[in-house]
Structure 1
Amino acid sequence: MADEMVRRAQRFVNTVYGEDKIGMEVETDGITSWQLMYALTRALQYELGITGLSNNFGPTTLSRLESAWPSIGFGDTPANVTMIIQSALYAKGYDGSGINGIYDERTADAVALMKARMGVGGAYPGSDLVPKVFKALLTMDAYVVVNNGSETICDIQRWLNGRYVKRRDFFIMPCDGHYSRTVATAMIYAVQYELGMADGVATGWFGPKTLNGLKDHTLAVGSTGNWVRLFSAALCFTKRSTTFTETYGPSTAEAVRAFQRFVALDETGRADASTWASLLVSFGDQTRKGAGCDGVTKITNARAATLESEGIEIVGRYLNPGGSALPEKQIQPGELETIAANGLRCFPIYQTWNRAVGDFSYDAGVRAALSAIEWAKRHGFKNGTTIYFAVDYDAVDWEVTEHIIPHFKGVHGTVGENSSYNVGIYGARNVCQRVSDQGYAVTSFVSDMSAGFSGNIGYPLPRNWAFDQIVTKTIGSGDGRIEIDVNIVSGRDRGQNSFAPALDTSGLDTDFDTSLRSTALDEVQRYLEEIGVPETGGDGWTDDDWATIGGNSTTDAFDDVLSMDWLFTDLARLLRLRKALVQAPVLWELRKWNVLDKVADEEVKAGRRDDSSTGWGQIFAWVAIAARNYCIDKGIINGDRLTEDDRRDVWNRLHDDPMYNITTAAYLTIFNAYQTNVPRPGLNTSDSDTQEILARYNGVDEGAQKYGRELIGLYQVLERYNRISRTN
């Protein structure tokens, strides 16, 4: 909502400074924003004589401000500086005295009120504005509880500000009632200050010195003082308590025991160093022994002995190849047998790259799931195994919403439909919890070792955590030497200690050899032209239709099919049939799509008809329902049977989602074999049976028989090049 005084502040910064002096102008919309705060920061830097202006209020700005105006109040401060202060006050919801350039009673009262809300009124008494408060003023931080924040956390924030603000590297944090990266860092500074670390030695980073120092500050029932205040604050931040206190009572001890139990520490009820560490930093006490580990090195008998001597019981290993740089990252032949023979267990991890937001999408999730299912079967992981899909970067909250959650929706749906495996997630705390909250992961493998990730700082351990990765270390010697990531184990996933026979993948289709694209397209074009299908136009199209609506040329249809080759390949491998059997009708229907199909789809969208053949494979919803139900009944796929009530939803998915449409086309080939009374299609299905299956795709009349005769030739062309690809 626009505020006229904020609009006046925006006009002030544009008129007095603007593009010429500070290199920017702000929109005069009356809405507080970081843009306005950045402009006011630059304006202050300009008044301080700083030439390299920046949006950041950094050490140079602070130092110059401390030299020029160490305390601003009733005095000779330049009017422009006072108007910067008054503009910022309005931007933060305080009275800026009309932006009159005079540090008057109204300005002084506003500054005093803000300092009180910051918790620094005792450290900086009176109404003068000091540099650290000025720095905080030029932020979007709030000093009252906002957005359903906690009053207790707000009290803690004010206490921390008031107690430590005069230390060199401690700056005023928001007092908004929310735990955040800023608050988490401030807590570590506070602990280090209480340990007696000098300015410059205290860094806000939890390391061995901090851990060792805390060993002398174990708390128990009866303890009192500021150490208890800090510890109770940490409990509040993890939502294990709501009491901020200086007395360690029985209720505190009980809250500690519950926390220790959750994070797999010894349940002592005492605030020992390990408990402090787990409250303050994601990786906790890195000297802890973990019952689990993961790594990129093959487990041999010698390495298994090293792991066992270290107390390791469960090993995480990768399903898929890791590239030439990591030749042993993937589970190696015979390795799982070695793991089991040595009394160890194994949980599988699936990761291709997954280190940037662009690696995540619904489509990519489907692809990852299909690949992971096959690799898990190839290695012999049994039904019920949880596969951990990786998010191996610091995904911020909007990326989780727009990319990671849709990705795991694809993973979860595909794994659930096509296997009896479970989906787990590897990632930072926030990522794991948010994906799990959507129901897309049963357990979490938490990358807590990455303590600097924004998704770890300020977030509690996910409720469904199975493995907590805390440190990398090398153990053993000689042939038994191995580098591992140590994992604390909750017991929610014990991995597997026996394995099924490896899946035989010989003779299955592989990815299309793209070097064959031109040759294969030429042959497809020649064949279609021989049966009366030109490169463009044809049945159902007029020249005007083609010009105004646009159809698919043979090249368009071929390239569309090639663009989804990974899906055709994965489905064919999963269902153990030839992918050309699915490609042929989809390519044909893409090429033959015409204005009548478009009209029929529009009729369904408008509610004037119930169904139409739609999408890449031109499939009716009622046919999709029948095919999917048949496959569910036969145990080929998992899921609840569909009914007529699902028709519109199925039609929408067939129309809007090419992957759903292609997947349905694959199930339809199996259903069509049943309908034509021929064996389920496999790797060696005869051409005559293939033709019958293809004909049934179009129905049961003479037109369908013609369809089958036309498509068997297209199938044979596609299969010829698929065969070359799989034998190259």
Structure 2
Amino acid sequence: MADEMVQRAQRFINTTYNNGATLGISKLDENGQTGWPVMYALTRALQYEMGITALSNSFGPTTLAKLGELYGKLDETTIPSANFCRIIQSALYCKGYDGGDIDGKYNDRVKDAVVKLNQNMGVSGTYPGSSLWPKVVKGLFNMDAYVTVNNGSDTIRSIQQWLNGKYILRKDFYIIPCDGHHSRDVAKSMLFAIQYELGMADGVANGVFGPGTQSGLKSHTVSLGTTGVWAQLFTAAMILNKRNVPFGSFTATVQSGVETFQSFSKLPVTGKGDFQTWASLLVSYGDQSRKGTACDGVTKITPARAQALKDAGYKYIGRYLFNPSTTDLPEKQIQPGELATIKEYGLNCFPIFQTWSRSADYFSPSQGAADAFRAIEWAKYHGFKAGTIIYFAVDYDAMDGEVTDYVIPHFRGVMRTIGENSSYGVGVYGPRNVCQRVADAGYAAASFVSDMSSGFSGNLGYPLPTNWAFDQISTIKVGSGAGLIEIDNNIVSGRDYGQSDFDAGADLGGLDERLDEAAYRSLMLQDVKAYLESIGVPETGGDGWTDKDWASLGGISTTEAFNEVVNADWLFTSLARTLRMRKALIQAPVLWELRKLNPLDFASDAAVKAGQMDDCSTGWGQIFAATAIKARNYCIGEGIINGEGLDYTSKTDLRNVWDKLHDDEEYNVRTVAYVLLWNSDVLGIDRPDLSGNLNVTQAVLAQYNGTGPDAEQYGRELMGLYNVLEQYNALSRA
């Protein structure tokens, strides 16, 4: 929603500073919306008015020092110019305060706004009155809020204000937000406050949980009856970790809360604010001298290493299911015979799945599904039993918006695939915020927390996830000689212990591989087109439609249909490998039905959407919802997939499934594979398998189109297409 005064502030910047050219920026959108672009512009304008030549978006030490040097504080007696005042007035509006008429006058309206700003920041005791001091100005020129927003906690806001008011005069302490939410800046401010109370001088205190801070805290245990600033700091740390205790003195209520926190974090339950408890409240890794009973690593567990780990008290070992690299970290993937060694030495193993997962653009629903299919395959290959939780990695500092836009949709794909195609569970490895949000979305049963990365924004300011299973806090070496091994040391919650016994393992021989597109894509397309043309299916049109009418009414060409199928090769390959059938068998009807889509199909779709029909064939595979329900029910009954059976006579079930078939291409293609398996049962023949039995293949393809002469012709025509596709799939797996 546009704010008229913010819009006037944007217009002021554009008209005064040559549409931003004077400030080294582009012209601002005059949209009346506060955001970083306008705050950066105002920062640069302020610098320009002070004579700073190297303009920057950052309100850094140079800008701060120049303010103090030139003016000391800003008010009606020191504001140097009308434009300077307009910049201040504009910034006040962008913060939600009344900045007057943006008329260059530091009048009563501006003064009242500054008084309110100082109060909201918690610094009015230090900075009484209506003057703007340099650190307050710095806080004005950013996007921090100083009122409770987005369901923030009033108690947390009071702690933020208390920290600002108490420590604002210290050199390296800057005003933090007072929005009722814990954050990276608040976490760092707590460390500064503790360092100041330990007696560290300005320039020594740095907001880092280093040796001096740790040593000092060991002498400041707080317990029942403690009052004063150390009790305040401790209870603040508890509240910031979402513990429901009062801020202030160490009361019996606080003691009870501490005991609960210690139990949850697997600390010794003392009821006191001892060093380990302080550490766990202040930094994600806590006390790194803590000895865990779980570990993870990229090194093979040999008998000597297994004995060294066992002697050191380790019971649970995290190992990787798969390593896409054949040269980097050659022992990262579970090695042949390794799980037998783990079992022999009385240890357990919990599996981790990671390929890349180190930037936002890796994550998507389709990548989640692909990862899940591959994880299922490798978990079965290694022999992990049903019920095993597989930890899927988010191995980077994902911003909260990236978690929303990329990571959670990715895990939706993981969960759907794991849930439908296996008896495994889903876990998440990553920073605290990632783990908690994925868990809250219902896509992870347990979290493996990357707490060693204490500087991650997803760890700073976030409590330990409620479903944490393993807490990774330090890298250490264990053993000596042949038993020497470097591991990540993990604390164990008891929510997951991994597996102590393993199946024989599945054979991966003979499965389809991804198409070697560089070698075969263009050749495969040529042969597909040639075959289809040989049976009367041209590149476009056909079935009585002219090329022009076909295209104008939504029909697609052979090349377009082929590209859709090959672009989804990850899905066809994953299904074929999971179901132990030939990929070409799933591809053939999908490619055919895509190419054969015509205006009559689109009209039927529209009729179902309008409620004029209950069902019609739809989507990539042109499947009826009733057929999909029957096929899926069969596969559920046979233990091929998981799920609850539906009623194909129910209009509600029909419509829900039809919508999925129509809107969700992945769901549609999965269902094609299940229909082909069901067809074998309908016909009373063997299921399609890796043998690629041609009689079975043609029979289930014909059944895809029903019964009778038309279906038989359909089967013959699709058999030819199958043979073309299988030729190149075979070359790719050779």
Shorter-chain TM-score category?
over 0.9
Which residue does the alignment assign to 1:252? Answer: 254
| Residue 71 (structure 2) aligned to one of 69, 72, 75 | 69
Partner in structure 2 of residue 426 of structure 1: 429
1:22: which partner in 2?
23
**2:309 is aligned with what amino acid?**
L
Matching residue of 1:578: 582
Residues 266-275 or 596-605, more deviating: 596-605
The whole-number CA distance in structure 1 between the counterparts of 2:106 and 2:716 is 91
The residue that corresponds to 2:225 in the other structure is 222
Residue 290 of structure 2 corresponds to which residue in structure 1?
A: 288
Contact 1:322 1:329 in 2 (8 A): no
Q: What letter matches 1:567 in structure 2?
A: L
Please state how far the C-alpha of 1:481 moved relative to its aligned partner: 1.6
Name the stretch that deviates more: 548-557 or 702-711. 548-557
Letter in 2 for 1:218: T
In 2, distance between residues paired with 1:606 and 1:103? 62
Q: State the shift of 1:131 in Å.
A: 1.0
| TM-fit CA distance, 1:416 | 0.6
Q: Which runs of 5+ in 2 are unaligned?
A: none
Letter in 1 for 2:699: E
- In 2 relative to 1, CA 244–533 (structure 1 residues): closer, same or farther, beyond 3 Å? same
Q: Please report the TM-score for the alignment, with normalisation by the length of structure 1.
A: 0.96
For residue 118 of structure 1, the aligned residue among 117, 121, 140 is 121
Residue 523 and residue 139 in structure 1: after superposition, are their counterparts in 2 closer, same or farther (change >3 A)?
closer
For residues 396-475 of structure 1, the aligned pairs below 5 Å read 396-475=399-478
1:207-246 aligned within 5 A: 207-245=210-248
Name the residue aligned to 1:262.
264
Measured against aligned partners, the alpha-carbon deviations of 1:80-112 in whole angstroms (never above 9, x if no partner) come to 333333333333333434444344454444323
In the alignment, is the contact (CA less than 8 A) between 2:618 and 2:661 conserved in 1?
yes
Task: Report deviation, 1:674.
Answer: 0.7
Letter in 2 for 1:533: V
The question of whether the paired residues in 2 share the 8 Å contact of 1:424 and 1:441 is answered with yes
Q: Which runs of 5+ in 1 are unaligned?
A: none
Structure 1 713/7 Cα, relative in aligned 2: closer, same or farther at 3 Å? Answer: closer
Deviation at 1:49, TM superposition (A): 0.7
- In 2, Cα distance between equivalents of 1:681 and 1:553: 29
Secondary structure of 1:673 counterpart? helix
Q: What does residue 60 of structure 1 align with?
A: 62
- Alpha-carbon distance in structure 1 between the residues aligned to 2:140 and 2:240: 25
1:385 aligns with one of 384, 388, 401: 388
Q: For each residue in 1:469-523, what CA deviation from the matched residue of structure 2 results, as whole angstroms up to 9, or x when unmatched?
A: 1122223222222121111110000100100011012222222233133333333
Residue 143, structure 1, aligned to residue 143, structure 2: no
Aligned partners of 1:153, 1:257: CA distance in 2, in Å? 21
**Partner residue in 1 for 2:13:** 13
Matched position secondary structure for 2:470:
strand
State the shift of 1:337 in Å.
Answer: 0.6
- Whole-angstrom CA distance in 1 between matches of 2:586 and 2:544: 24
Deviations, residues 404-453 of structure 1 (Å, cap 9, x unaligned): 11111111011111111001111111111111111111111111111121
- Shift of the 686–113 alpha-carbon distance from structure 1 to 2, 3 Å rule, reads closer
Helix, strand or coil for the counterpart of 2:174? coil
- For residues 137-176 of structure 1, the aligned pairs below 5 Å read 137-176=140-179
Does structure 2 retain, via aligned residues, the 8 Å contact 1:540–1:595?
no
- The corresponding residue for 1:206 is 209
Query: Residues of 2 paired with 1:87 and 1:712: CA distance?
Result: 71
* Count of aligned pairs: 726
From 591, 596, 599, give the equivalent of 1:595: 599
The offset of 1:182, in angstroms, is 1.2
- Equivalent residue for 1:698? 705
Aligned to 2:475, the other structure's residue is in SS state: strand
Q: What's the counterpart of residue 271 of structure 1?
A: 273
CA distance in 1, matches of 2:105, 2:594: 73
Per the alignment, do residues 600 and 487 of structure 1 end up closer, same or farther by CA in structure 2, a change over 3 Å counting? Answer: same
Aligned residue identity for 2:656? D
Distance of 1:111 and 1:717 partners within structure 2: 76
Choose which of 567, 570, 573 in structure 2 pairs with 1:563. Answer: 567
Q: Which SS does the other structure have where 1:487 is aligned?
A: strand
Closer, same or farther in 2 for the Cα pair 1:222/1:626, shift >3 Å? same
CA distance, structure 2, for counterparts of residue 379 and residue 405 of structure 1: 28
Q: For 1:230 and 1:692, how far apart are their aligned partners in 2?
A: 74
Amino acid across the alignment from 2:80: P
How far does the alpha carbon of each residue in 1:521-567 deviate from its partner, in whole angstroms, 9 at most, with x for none?
Answer: 33333333332223333224223322423533333333332222222
Do 2:540 and 2:547's aligned partners in 1 also have CA atoms closer than 8 Å? Answer: no
Can you list the C-alpha shifts for 1:259-300, whole angstroms capped at 9, x where unaligned?
111111110011111111111111111111111111111111
**The 10-residue stretch of structure 1 (488-497 or 395-404) with the greater mean CA deviation from structure 2:** 395-404
**Which moves more between the two structures, 398-407 or 419-428?**
398-407
| Whole-angstrom CA distance in 2 between matches of 1:291 and 1:482 | 15
Q: Conserved in 1, the CA contact under 8 Å of 2:245 and 2:253?
A: no
Contact 2:317 2:348 in 1 (8 A): yes
| Partner residue, 1:713 | 720
Residue 477 of structure 2 contacts residue 484 of structure 2 at CA under 8 Å; is this kept in 1? yes
* Identity %, equivalent residues: 60
Shift of the alpha carbon at 1:27?
4.1
Q: 1:123 and 1:313, CA in 2 relative to 1: closer, same or farther beyond 3 A?
A: same
Deviation at 1:345, TM superposition (A): 0.5
CA distance in 1, matches of 2:719, 2:506: 30
Equivalent in the alignment of 2:137: 134
Q: Is the 8 A contact 1:470 1:488 kept in 2?
A: yes
Q: 2 CA distance for matches of 1:554 and 1:156?
A: 65
Q: CA offset at residue 2 of structure 1?
A: 4.8
AA partner of residue 697 (structure 1): Y
Q: Distance in 1 between matches of 2:130 and 2:575?
A: 71
- Measured in 2, the distance between the counterparts of 1:606 and 1:613 equals 15
Does 2:316 match 1:309? no
Query: Aligned AA for 2:349?
Result: C
Q: Judging changes above 3 Å, is the alpha-carbon distance between structure 1 residues 576 and 254 closer, same or farther for their aligned structure 2 residues?
A: same
Structure 1 window deviating more from structure 2 (51-60 vs 131-140): it is: 131-140
Q: Distance in 2 between matches of 1:7 and 1:667?
A: 57
Q: Does the 8 Å CA contact 2:294/2:316 hold for their aligned counterparts?
A: yes
* C-alpha distance in structure 2 between counterparts of 1:438 and 1:255, whole Å: 27
Partner of 1:678: 685
Matches within 5 A, 1:502-541: 502-514=505-517, 515-541=519-545
Residue 42 of structure 1 corresponds to 44
Name the amino acid aligned to 1:37: M
Larger deviation, residues 221-230 vs 711-720: 711-720
Secondary structure (helix, strand or coil) at the match of 1:315 reads strand
CA distance in 2, matches of 1:342, 1:140: 55
Cα distance in 1 between the residues matched to 2:85 and 2:512: 74
1:295 and 1:483 in contact (8 A); partners too: yes
Shift of 1:74: 4.5
* More moved, 167-176 vs 329-338: 167-176
- Please tell me the root mean square deviation across aligned C-alpha atoms, in Å: 1.9
Residue matched to 1:183: 186
* Aligned partner of residue 55 in structure 1, secondary structure: coil
Letter in 2 for 1:593: L
